[in-house]
């Protein structure tokens, strides 16, 4: 039963990511932005590269950015199904998996990832990101925290 709860978490991240991206595509023209606060805009951007636009100009980038997320997704699924781990680690990895599936869906469907969260300070903008990116980041931070600050017995 508990494994179904993790499946629900993965699906919830994917569905929330898709829903927010659909809202952006339907309601905000491409390359426009709406100010929210003094440090946050909602934008409609497309990322043809990896994290922060990595490999967006490379001719093989498209293939690399399909193969790596597929390999990570398959690896995470196998590890989550076969591995024994504490609930906290499983939750962190499910967040990474849910986000990876969300961005992989975009890349397979459109050839790019839809980004819409623009955080900035004065004229310095962090690259735009989305719900899937946030889930991946939080999952990796959780995984790192568990490995760096948990006793080895609690990770077994």
For 80-89, b/e burial (b = at least 16 CB within 10 A) is beeeeeeeeb
Lookup result for tokens 């839809």:
114
Closest listed residue to residue 114, CA positions, set 36, 59, 12, 42: 42
Give φ, ψ of 129 to 5 degrees.
-145, -175
Half-sphere exposure of 156 (CA within 13 A, CB side): 3
Answer yes or no: 17 catalytic. no
DSSP for 81-117, please give it: HH----HHHHHHHHHHHHHHHHHHHHHHHHSSEEEEE
DSSP-based helix, strand, coil % in the chain, nearest 5: 65, 15, 20
User: Who contacts 134 (Cβ-Cβ below 8 Å, separation ≥6)?
Assistant: 99, 117
> pLDDT 10s digit of each residue in the chain, 156 long?
476 788 999 999 999 999 999 999 999 999 999 999 999 999 999 988 766 555 556 666 667 777 888 898 899 889 888 878 899 999 999 999 999 999 999 999 998 999 999 999 999 999 999 999 999 999 999 999 998 998 665 555
Answer yes or no: 106 catalytic. no
Q: What's the domain range around 144? A: 2-155
Q: What is the count of structural domains for the chain? A: 1
Active-site residue, from 17, 106, 115, 118 = 115
Active-site residue, from 17, 106, 118, 133 = 133
């Amino acid at each position: 039963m508990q494994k179904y709860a993790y499946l629900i978490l993965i699906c919830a991240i994917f569905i929330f990511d898709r829903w927010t991206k659909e809202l952006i595509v339907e309601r905000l023209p491409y390359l426009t932005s709406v100010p929210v606060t003094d440090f946050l805009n909602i934008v409609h951007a497309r990322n043809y590269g990896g994290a922060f636009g990595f490999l967006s100009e490379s001719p093989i980038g498209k293939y690399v950015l399909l193969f790596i997320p597929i390999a990570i997704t398959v690896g995470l699924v196998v590890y989550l199904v076969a591995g024994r781990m504490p609930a906290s680690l499983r939750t962190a990895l499910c967040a990474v998996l849910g986000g990876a599936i969300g961005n992989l869906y975009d890349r397979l469907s459109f050839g790019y990832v839809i980004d819409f969260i623009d955080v900035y300070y004065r004229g310095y903008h962090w690259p735009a990101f989305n719900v899937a990116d946030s889930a991946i980041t939080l999952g990796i931070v959780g995984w790192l925290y568990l490995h760096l600050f948990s006793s080895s017995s609690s990770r077994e």
